[in-house]
Amino acid sequence: MSLLSDLVNLNLSETTEKVIAEYIWIGGSGMDLRSKARTLPAPVSDPQKLPTWNYDGSSTGQAPGEDSEVILYPQAIFKDPFRRGNNILVMCDAYTPAGEPIPTNKRYNAAKIFSHPKVVAEEPWYGIEQEYTLLQKEVKWPIGWPTGGYPGPQGPYYCGVGADKAFGRDIVDSHYKACLYAGINISGINGEVMPGQWEFQVGPAVGISAGDELWVARYLLERITEIAGVVLSFDPKPIQGDWNGAGAHTNYSTKSMRNDGGYEIIKKAIENLKLRHKEHIAAYGEGNERRLTGRHETADINTFSWGVANRGASVRVGRDTEKCGKGYFEDRRPASNMDPYVVTSMIAETTILWKP
């Protein structure tokens, strides 16, 4: 096995200029990440200089067998923490051979919103708090939990330390460093309220890059849990009962919100979000009704609310924002399995472009 490890860690730059590019895309379910690799003749740093590629869409639920070719357009490049050297990860979106975005390509519409002059002028910043649950491979039960049984009640696990409170820290720390290596602006990690559940935060990231970075961070986590023999779950309520669910709280600000007088802009934006509550909930992740119950630090899915420092509200404004009269707010409604391209662009559209 040591020879195998040596080969996996070979430094290609010692013998060749060729590099490996891992093309990543989102499959037909909207949450299944796919990837495959190709050799490039030399290092590349600009996604526009990468070749398009294709895959069999009939095998990912994205095309019929009789016309199965789907085209990958490279959109963002990251350093590859697995192969290292000049090797890269390439976040792509998917199109028909005629150049039309396929229905599951949510990045295309998000890019249109983020390229709108009014949105560009406002420089929307995002910080996404991605919660997830680590499951035992054979039984699909959270790691650290007794098989078929339950641990002690919630309380000691949030940001907890110790063998009986923190389960999977080696995976979490490996992911943290892999994200930093890749060039993802990961800003932190912490253990969550339910044992076996963790969170990482991506941001601040501007516009479409928030979606690119979160998707690649998810990809890295999938790969690391694959190595560890642990199953990664983004289910918004993986365990029924008196246990916290998993969300993807999305922190947001515009240039106007960050400037003096921004608190009034924030309140107007929150009013717009209230008026479009149903549309946002419909786009904020599958199974979110199991999580947004009004319990376990959530607001009820059918009722919009906001408040300062209120973790039981749909939208939370921080004490610092209230005190300074400017800053950001947190949309607590998105589920852990939300599509960041959809959520980030929808928030920008509702708060910048949409008129009641």
Per the structure block, which two tokens stand in for 355?
């008129």
Residues whose CB falls within 8 Å of the CB of residue 255, separated by 6 or more in sequence, listed in order: 121, 122, 123
Give the pLDDT confidence of 75-127 residue by residue, as tens digits.
Answer: 999 999 999 999 999 999 999 999 999 999 999 999 999 999 999 999 999 99
Residues whose CB falls within 8 Å of the CB of residue 158, separated by 6 or more in sequence, listed in order: 190, 191, 192, 193
Long-range contacts at 26-29 (CB < 8 A, ≥ 24 apart): 26/93, 26/94, 26/104, 26/106, 26/215, 26/339, 27/60, 27/61, 27/62, 27/104, 28/57, 28/60, 28/61, 28/62, 28/104, 29/61
How far apart, in whole angstroms, are the C-alpha atoms of residue 12 and residue 23? 19
Residue the block writes with tokens 């560009």: 120
CA dihedral 280, 281, 282, 288 (to 10 degrees): 150
Of the pLDDT bands very low, low, confident and very high (cuts 50, 70, 90), residue 9 is confident
Of the pLDDT bands very low, low, confident and very high (cuts 50, 70, 90), residue 65 is confident
pLDDT at position 186: 98
Give the pLDDT confidence of 182-195 residue by residue, as tens digits.
Answer: 999 999 999 999 99
Give the pLDDT confidence of 131-176 residue by residue, as tens digits.
Answer: 999 999 999 999 999 988 999 999 999 999 999 999 999 999 999 9
Give the pLDDT confidence of 206-229 residue by residue, as tens digits.
Answer: 999 999 999 999 999 999 999 999
pLDDT at position 57: 95
Per the structure block, which two tokens stand in for 136?
């035992």
Angle, CA of 122, 128 and 130, to the nearest 5°:
165
Rg of the Cα trace of the chain? 21
**pLDDT beyond 80 at 1:** no
Of the pLDDT bands very low, low, confident and very high (cuts 50, 70, 90), residue 261 is very high
**pTM, to two decimals:** 0.96
Contact 45, 184 (CB under 8 A): no
pLDDT at position 300: 92
Task: List the domains of the chain with CATH numbers.
Answer: 4-104 (3.10.20.70), 117-353 (3.30.590.10)
| CA dist 320 → 126, 142, 266 (Å) | 17, 36, 13
pLDDT at position 147: 87
Angle, CA of 195, 196 and 198, to the nearest 5°:
100
Residue the block writes with tokens 């009269």: 325
Give the pLDDT confidence of 314-348 residue by residue, as tens digits.
Answer: 999 999 999 999 999 999 999 999 999 999 999 99
Q: What's the length of the chain?
A: 356
Of the pLDDT bands very low, low, confident and very high (cuts 50, 70, 90), residue 8 is confident
Residue 189: Cβ-neighbour burial (10 angstroms; 0-12, 13-18, 19+): middle
pLDDT at position 270: 97
Give the pLDDT confidence of 273-315 residue by residue, as tens digits.
Answer: 999 999 999 999 999 999 999 898 899 999 999 999 888 899 9
pLDDT at position 132: 98
How far apart, in whole angstroms, are the C-alpha atoms of residue 102 and residue 29? 13
